[in-house]
A and B are shown apart, each in its own frame.
Chain A
Amino acid sequence: MKQTQTQNQHRPKRYGMAIDLDKCTGCGSCMVACFAENNVPFKQDETDKLLSITWMRVYKITNGKKFPETEVCYLPRPCQHCAGQHEGHSPCVSVCPATATDYSADTGIVSQIYTRCFGCRYCMAACPYHARYFNWWDPVWPAGMERYLSPNVSPRMRGVVEKCSFCFHRYQLARDKAYLEGKRAVSEAEYQTACTQACPAGAIVFGDLNNSEHAVYQIVQPDAHNHYKSKNPYAFRLLERLGTNTKVYYLSSREWVRKAGDNYLANEEPGASHAPNQHG
């Protein structure tokens, strides 16, 4: 697969994200931008976070030290769009019995097709990132509020799983527009996710990890021969050692933050152990 990619004249896209945790202020605008863009429902009580549907969720982590040595860092977590060890071998895609979630070889985006999903939730069990959410109830908008729903994203119903799509509908619109204008490629600015656009601190950068002209490529410097591991010493991926080969990279100048991205032994250096290169 990898060989065909490099040999291909039209190299497939590999949309991914770099989130600078030094810049992230933990405001939560990305979460709300996502809710508003993707018709994410809300309930009267959203304080049980296991039941609260947040495609993008901002976690708060601390260094565990005492006052005033305490430090905190916020970590926004969208779907990580895992490619796995063989491109397309995402944990969730591998277990879906209904092909309701699939890996796009053209964009690297892990899709979720609500009308195919019958709610077995295998994918939720398989996802190491808690990025998938189940609709235990039908979504209810207070009378009149359904008027702000966007026609670009179908509201989900009870009994299906949903998750971040990297605002795939925005890609579709940009692709259609590019096609109509006789263009071949969608430019970097034409396709940006809602969270990237909204981030007031400019902490999120989104683009094609296969395109060296895109900012995200330049920041991440992915190593295509080593499961896209970043060559940037400040970059890390969540639970990288699982070999999920995710497309969301985090940057931090603080070592304790980079260390919090995976399960390290007490005296182990972050990044000391690499993801398995062999088929596992």
Chain B
Amino acid sequence: MALTSLTRAPRTDAPARHPKRRFSLWHLVLAPIALLFFIPFAQMLLASLSPRSDLVKFPPPFFPSRITLDGFVGLLTDTDILRWLANSTIVAVISIVSHVVLCSLAGYGFARLQFRGRTAGFFLILATIMIPTQLLMIPTYIMFSKLGIVNTLAAAFVPWLASAFGIFLMRQFFLSIPIEIEEAAAIDGANRLEIFLRVVLPLARPAMTTLAIFTLLSSWNDLVWPLIAINDENAFTVQLGIANFQGTRRTQWDLLMAGNVIATAPLVLFFLFAQKQFVQTMTMSGLKG
């Protein structure tokens, strides 16, 4: 404590000497870059709100001549976008619930329980992180068709029910909780499951949030698994739906961009509300390596 306050002292009174901060030259670097990153989104949104005649004009106008919802209306009448959205939502919810529950259980088991085969089991799980997706595409497809879940939503969520990364993340978190808390509960007569549910899990909320966001991003944005295993339009996720729609409507930009907005908006809004947690997730998911 004393040490921190000593080392911190000069830093806190440094700005006081310059009550009015000078304009930072970094603005000249950051503002254009931020604008550049924002432009694709702006273009997407503007195009989705433009009349189609604007989008095939030459040269194309920077701003729409008028704002219209024709693109969205066309998309709703031409495609099953609402069903795809519902499908994606179902896939994401099942993935998140299963991922958080199963990885918390397993993470706690590997962190705190003593049992035969624990170390071997944990290393086996860690080893699977090395296996790349494309190695699994073909046999998984065959497996799914043998199980009869090709062309169902299950093909989209089964790959996200649990992950080695999730177990690793939860295990690391549980290891960081002081064991005395659990021992106190044990002395009070709680059994393992009670300790886990009543004492440990409530403390693990930050890690569970990180894992939930990771699963949301992965399952909502996934294209490979649905692409391989789902051909039935009724079971399309929103990502597969818009990718497929793009193949048939190469230049109907208003519809395509409306689809893009609908597929992207949920996560963008979520990001804006929970930016800190998202950034935390991005930092942690680097641990996958």
Q: Real complex partners, A and B?
A: no
B residues at A contact (CB < 8 Å): none
State the A residues within 8 Å of B (CB). none
